[in-house]
Structure 1
Amino acid sequence: MHDEFPELTFDFTAKIEHLLKHRALLSELGELGCLFIVSAVESLSDTVLANLEKGHTRADVYAALEIVRDAGIALRPTWVPFTPWATLDDYIDILEFVQAERLIYHVDPVQYTIRLLVPPGSALLQRPAIQPCLGPLDQASFTYHWTHADSRMNDLQRAVSAVVAQATRFDEDPATTFQRVCELAYAVRADEAPASASPVLLDHRKKAPRLTEPWFC
């Protein structure tokens, strides 16, 4: 296909564990036209990852990012930052990772709002750790309501959702939205948000391939 249509590009979705397992194939995929890979990172907290049974660790995420980049492919991580086990520090950790690794334009802002869904039949319902947070089943959304033990996390999720919804309506630059989300999160922790992304970092916008609409993985 690549020989006949060399201008043709593609992307795919893969687990972090599979990127590590099949790392030897990534360079060839990059040469054949793979622009980016969507991967459900979900969290950088090993506690959260263990509860979600993601099959990878925080260290694995960094390793996969390096491998994918070395192959000339962009990684577009997806997140579930609001879970019963995530702390405020975990949330800010995601933001700091995104900025430090120059991924601002590789993460759709809606990803900073995602809250764990617990539908009937979910294996999560069998976990003792979720029971204190669990509420009744919401028939309309077909998911169990849950409340974080730290009320600040519930408030932050609502505030970030409002900011991102407004940003989407006005087609706001993702870097601007990211900075606003950072300011919200750091304010909750009573810290000052770090300086906004530098022009060098923002230059990566034109190098960040993406789908035409946000993708939930």
Structure 2
Amino acid sequence: MKIIVSKEIASVCPEFVGAAVEAQVKNTAYCEALWDEIKVLQAEVTQTLSNELLKELPGIAATRRVYKACGKDPSRYRPASEQLMRRLLQGKDLYQIDTLVDLVNLASIKFGYSIGGFDADKLVGQTITLGVGRDGEPYEGIGRGVLSIAGLPVYRDEVGGFGTPTSDHERTKMTIETTHLLVLINGYDGNEQRVADNARYIQELLKRYADSDGGSVTIYK
């Protein structure tokens, strides 16, 4: 898969760097060992962070700045990493969906980046472009219904938008049948080393919990 960062994104965030992890996987409904890891990180988050400190984390702060630069209110359309950690700070557990979704959520919380996980076999074409959502552009967020993505960074394939830092699209979502995974890490803070570390961490999680060899990593900017 070729991933292109559009001039729209480069103009508001020239330092952007992303990482794609592509792998063959086996999904399961639940993984107890994975959830043991999630609970350890959950305790760490609740003991060390507050809602104010959360907004200052580099990955989240940079994503919020890009939202504002593109014309979107980041407090109304929060980046997914911020949504997840705010939920933990409210004393709530993460939603348990399936192993692939839970694994991506763990990686997002650990590094503070909004991460999209997709069933790669549902993508159309060989090129993905990261651009900015337009007025009236159709988009159905997972569990959210119709979502206005005008002013949101959005990944598009040949059919249209399928991933934003706030919510991914129903069309390309992972299911229990997913065997070909694509994960996209959004580093709006420009920290290539941390983005790469996040990708390698996902590879290790896939090896431990998704019967995978970890697949390949591509850095794009």
The TM-score, its normalising length taken from structure 1, stands at 0.25
The TM-score, its normalising length taken from structure 2, stands at 0.25
Name the structure with the higher strand share. Answer: 2
- Pick the structure with greater CA Rg: 1
